[in-house]
Amino acid sequence: MTFELQHTDSGSAARVGLVTTNHGPVETPVFMPVGTLGSVKGVHLRELKDDIKAQIILGNTYHLYLRPGLDVLEKAGGLHRFNGFDRPMLTDSGGFQVFSLTGIRKLSAEGCEFRSHIDGSKHFFTPERVMDIERTIGADIMMAFDECPPGTADYAYARRSLDLTHDWLRRCWKRFHETSPRYGYNQALFPIVQGCVYKDLRRESARFMADFGAEGYAIGGLAVGEPAEVMYEMIEVVNEILPADRPRYLMGVGTPVNILEGIARGVDMFDCVMPTRNGRNAMLFTANGVMNLRNAKWAHDFSVIDEAAYSFVDTAYTKAYLHHLFKAKELLAMQIASIHNLAFYLWLTAEARRHVLCGDFSTWKSDMCGRLMNKL
């Protein structure tokens, strides 16, 4: 994997670049639709590639390990061949999911023992095991195994957690370089910067990670309960240290405003379940604000949902039609809303890229953030 930094904004830390993998290029800044179990919920492959124009999608190591399982993925020739998505893919390490299993997991220096949320069966993840699992899944970009502390963690907990994450990265790095890709194309490993909401820990972690000379870096442990302004501050602290010639991935973030604020602070890659999860619950994101399509006010509104986002798709469904589908509990409502939200997120990051290149990103961002926070 390579990264070319193509342009930087004069009024902020925003930048545009090009990630190149064996499965194709990714123009940054970029939003990655989340395909937890190998599929982006409610979205066909054709829509994902041709309508939404997703450059890269994300899969989850924990969930794919449990279902369909490594034997199926290996026999298929990896996740690309299993789900038919022939563009770049990224897998997170499953750390966040494992550590979310409160009450059914045990953490130690060696790794994490947990019980499946599906059938209660017992499993054990170590850094080495996670590297082997991600090799088998076959994503172009792999995440290191880390612990993700809650945003409200006290300093002592955050300190212990960071030491564990750093130790696990050493082991991940060693295992990654002892093994080879399974399916004939290259894979990259991104370390994950942690440190909760403490500046000194974040700086320490960023320096520690940067010393590995990895092909890219992730920022984890944010948008987990801390105020948004604190999250932005942590991004600034970390990006002052991470190398400028490598892509920076902010994990699990977030709202459209969060994404623009992250871009302004030098982040290149984003993912979040919000577009599809909120879409399934009738919440749509648009360039003029957020809409709840279950509200009666949309019943006689025959305008299209959002002219901007629908430059990505062929059919411009109306607000009245989508309101009707949600009220009637038609499954198509969730599908249309998911596609719309993903198209909007992809449009938003593409527009951010365009405005960085045009030299007016800061002005555009300020206006756009004000509009995005409207409740329509």
* Long-range contacts (CB closer than 8 Å, 24 or more residues apart) made by 314-323: 314/51, 319/291, 319/293, 322/284, 322/293, 322/298, 323/293, 323/294, 323/295, 323/298, 323/299
As to burial, measured by CB atoms within 10 angstroms (0-12 exposed, 13-18 middle, 19+ buried), residue 154 is exposed
Residue 92 appears among annotated catalytic residues:
yes
The pairing of beta strand 105-107 with beta strand 112-115: antiparallel
Select which of 9, 51, 146, 271 is catalytic: 271
Q: What angle do CA 324, 327, 333 make, to 5 degrees?
A: 65
Residue 211 appears among annotated catalytic residues:
no
Q: What angle do CA 147, 152, 155 make, to 5 degrees?
A: 75
| Tokens linked to 227 | 């105020």
Select which of 51, 92, 140, 268 is catalytic: 92
Q: Which residues contact 240 (CB under 8 A, 6 or more apart)?
A: 206
The catalytic residue positions are: 92, 271
